A and B are shown apart, each in its own frame.
Chain A
């Protein structure tokens, strides 16, 4: 069966510091991968998605970036965090070529101070 991992679960970072959040999927090949951000009590904002290694599509221009160095690994990064980057970050995957549901990781709660 497929599983999705995210780490860290919780992160507190100072403004201006770098960021690296990691997401990995097990049990499937060539998944479509997604990063979302959820502000407190709000809906999901799509940040990036990837349909293959090295292929990243950005939905929101900001100081975040994403990379997919391996088939089942998706990384969200920032060189310098802003206060507005605080939120709950969710990674998700779906089977490539299928318009079915997404499966979500457990999320990372990021607080920028």
Chain B
């Protein structure tokens, strides 16, 4: 069975600093997609970044980048120049490509950006 693990329930970072959120997953599939979602206090789930497993290059979106290590089954999110608006719950998610319709979510990391 596929699993997604986020081992950091809570983290904090000073404004303008860099923080890395960890995510590991387990799957027997060779091709799949990984995502990071942000859930601010409004509770709206917002896609931050996605990575396709067959792509070697790590995805980046402005201040957000990932470190995708396929062999280690690791998918960490780096937030550079942290801003107060980055304060949110962050979820790592996985979906396979072998005909599945399901997404597997981690339990989340609560990030607080300190002024």
Contacts and interface: CB of A to CB of B under 8 A. Distances in A.
Interface of A: 32, 34, 38, 41-44, 46, 49, 51, 57, 59, 88, 90, 92, 99-104, 106-107, 109
A23 to B, nearest CB: 13
Given A43-B106, A43-B107, A107-B43, 12 more contacts: A34-B103, A42-B108, A44-B91, A46-B103, A92-B45, A100-B33, A102-B103, A104-B45, A106-B42, A106-B43, A106-B44, A107-B44
B33 A32 contact: no
A44 B50 contact: no
A90 B95 contact: no
A92 B45 CA distance: 10
Contacts of B47: 101, 103
A62 B95 CA distance: 24
18 contacts: A38-B43, A42-B107, A43-B108, A44-B91, A46-B103, A49-B102, A99-B96, A100-B33, A101-B33, A101-B47, A102-B103, A103-B47, A104-B37, A104-B45, A104-B46, A106-B42, A106-B43, A109-B43
Nearest to A59: B102
Contacts of A51: 101
B33 A90 contact: no
Interface residues of B, number: 23
A44 B33 contact: no
A101 B101 contact: no
Given A43-B105, A49-B101, A107-B44, A99 B95 contact: yes
Contact of B105 (A41, A44, A99): A44
Given A43-B107, A46-B102, A99 B44 contact: no
